[in-house]
Structure 1
Amino acid sequence: MAPRPRIPESLRDRPFSRREALDMGVTSRQLEGGFLLRLFPQVYILRDHEMTGSDWITAATLAMPECAHLSHVSRIQALGLDIGEIWPVRFTVVGDLHLAMDDAFLHRTAALPPLDEVGVTPAAAFVQFCATATVLDAVVVGDWLLHRRHMTLGEVAELSRAQHWRPGARQVRRILPVLDGGAMSVKESEVRIRLEFAGLPRPEVNVPMMVDGELLGIGDLLVRCVMLVLEYEGRQHAESPRQFNRDIHRYASFRNNAVEYLQITNEMLSRPRVMVTQVHHRLRALGYNGPAPVFGDRWDSLTAPIPRSVRRSR
């Protein structure tokens, strides 16, 4: 059996290239040992290392030539958002480079989008993402990128105008008006956009709830016309004692000051029509006399690819 390779500490918890290892004193024979796993041509990992999505993106990037740039949903995933499939890891390249590699895909283009030190810029990746994304996924991703200041609305709008020929440019212009960078979580974004596309009032996101100059807490979503706060309750709220206690105190403050609120659970959100209907019933109880939810064309468009124009409900 080959001896256990003497891998430097800095390479033990991540994928690394053959060139990196050789430069650090690892021999070619050690790289062929059974304690290493080859992920891509000339890219390795310790066999007992548990791979993450980020590790796969790193590994694929190491295997690519410098002219190939991390892009599309893979560039967004590299920022930390868990959305879509990791494989294939996507790259953009100018010209006719042909490189057959399992679990990686090359998008060829006549001109590169804007780049940063990681790959295409997040704004450029969002434009690319919108070429095939559903409306719902585009809103969730767009809100997330805006909230974390990975991009701005102006940056995306300018890019879609300057490179109007690029796949996704027309679709992203249809999505920009319904994005909201105030949303702190993808679930808040989903609740908001489902209510809006069902024809209910568009909630405001993460609103400080003040009574007599005192801050009671931050409401996830506020339907201001009846002052109803919608609070998304994810698993992390129950699993984190600190968050759980914060929720208890915030809800107690709401009740003590007659602030109406409705908790939206993950189970409710898994049945979106039921969730929207329950919110509407609560709105009606508080005096809302606007239109009832409509589960028509606009609602259905949420789970379809982004159209060239966002149609209104029938």
Structure 2
Amino acid sequence: MTRGVYATGSEEPTLTERAAAAVLVSPADAVITGVTALWLPGVEIGSPEPIRVATETAGQTVRSGVRLSRVRCLPDSRRRIATPQAAWLAACADLDLVDPVAAADWLIRLRRVTPAELGAAATSASGRGCRLARSAAGLAQSGVDSPKESELRLLLVLAGLPEPRCNPRIGTADEPIGQMDLVLEEFKTIVEYDGDQHRTDPMQWSRDIARHEAAVAAGYRIIRVTHGRMKHPREIAETVHKALTDRGYRGPRPRYTNLWQTLFESRRV
């Protein structure tokens, strides 16, 4: 599994087992941190490997599959794993803006951190990744259900379009419609991300159809985005902008800055 550490059995070691092995071959103060520490409680953003390990020890340790970082102060941790807040801060040094925002949204949804805690941590941070952490904390939202929803929301917001509400329930007490992904209530416009579970789960598919029909009957415009459509981010932004202007929006057209192009046209989707 890791040179110098052996596991019994023929099954592939889990990430938790590989992280434990990395700790065993690292200095005595080692802490699992960064993207790896985010994956352990289920926040699967970026790649968990190599296993990220932090230490204050100055000695040399080189192990395949382990990235050992020497830090002035170890991150807050529990049982040799960085706390979610500390892991997120460390991960900001490895990722672009989209993934830290998605991770922050996910941690908030899991109630591992609050937006205020992330903001305070980012404000007090220093060193590599601190500027990105502050930007990501400012963009994080509660109520987001998936990393793809986070990416879709950022695609719109960073192009200068209005900020949607995330997963609100629409309708009235007498005629409830249900929960929708991204809602721009002022313009009666909904943007939905349809992941594979919407297509492969017949019950989910049926619920989606009924929910969408009810929303359209109530006067909403629904724009549906699939994984394939995410490969054409400008088309999504232009479609949403047209839907908004058709319903009274008088704000600016989408702006495709260098940052936007890097995040949504150059990155893999």
* Cα offset, 1:91, TM superposition: 0.6
Aligned ranges 1:222-261 → 2 under 5 Å: 222-261=183-222
What is the aligned partner in structure 2 of residue 201 from structure 1?
A: 162
Aligned ranges 1:291-306 → 2 under 5 Å: 291-300=252-261, 302=263
* Cα offset, 1:67, TM superposition: 1.5
The size of the alignment, in residue pairs, is 265
Residues of 2 paired with 1:160 and 1:146: CA distance? 15
Q: Does 1:124 align with 2:73?
A: no
Which stretches in structure 1 are left out of the alignment for 5+ residues? 1-37, 305-314
What is the aligned partner in structure 2 of residue 138 from structure 1?
A: 100
Residues of 2 paired with 1:147 and 1:217: CA distance? 19
What is the aligned partner in structure 2 of residue 67 from structure 1?
A: 29
* Cα offset, 1:255, TM superposition: 2.9
Give the counterpart letter for 2:113 in structure 1. M
Q: TM-score of the superposition, structure 2-length normalised?
A: 0.88
Residues of 1 paired with 2:237 and 2:122: CA distance? 33
Distance 1:264 1:118, change over 3 A: farther
Residues of 2 paired with 1:259 and 1:155: CA distance? 35
Aligned ranges 1:38-77 → 2 under 5 Å: 38-47=1-10, 49-77=11-39
Distance 1:160 1:275, change over 3 A: closer
Q: Does 1:110 align with 2:72?
A: yes
Once superposed, what is the RMSD of the aligned Cα atoms?
A: 2.3
Distance 1:159 1:201, change over 3 A: closer
Asked if 2 retains the 8 angstrom alpha-carbon contact of 1:92 and 1:106, the reply is yes
Q: Does 1:78 align with 2:43?
A: no
Match of 2:242 among 281, 291, 305: 281
Give the counterpart letter for 1:67 in structure 2. D
Give the counterpart letter for 2:191 in structure 1. L
Q: TM-score of the superposition, structure 1-length normalised?
A: 0.77
User: Which consecutive aligned stretches of 4+ in structure 1 deviate over 4 angstroms post-superposition?
Assistant: 51-55
Residues of 2 paired with 1:252 and 1:300: CA distance? 34
Structure with greater Cα Rg: 1
Q: Secondary structure at the match of 1:44?
A: coil
What is the aligned partner in structure 2 of residue 268 from structure 1?
A: 229
Distance 1:125 1:224, change over 3 A: same
* Cα offset, 1:265, TM superposition: 1.3
Asked if 1 retains the 8 angstrom alpha-carbon contact of 2:148 and 2:193, the reply is yes
Asked if 1 retains the 8 angstrom alpha-carbon contact of 2:30 and 2:55, the reply is yes
What is the aligned partner in structure 2 of residue 308 from structure 1?
A: none
Residues of 2 paired with 1:111 and 1:219: CA distance? 43
Distance 1:114 1:303, change over 3 A: farther
Which stretches in structure 2 are left out of the alignment for 5+ residues? none
Fraction of identical pairs, as percent: 29
Asked if 2 retains the 8 angstrom alpha-carbon contact of 1:135 and 1:302, the reply is yes
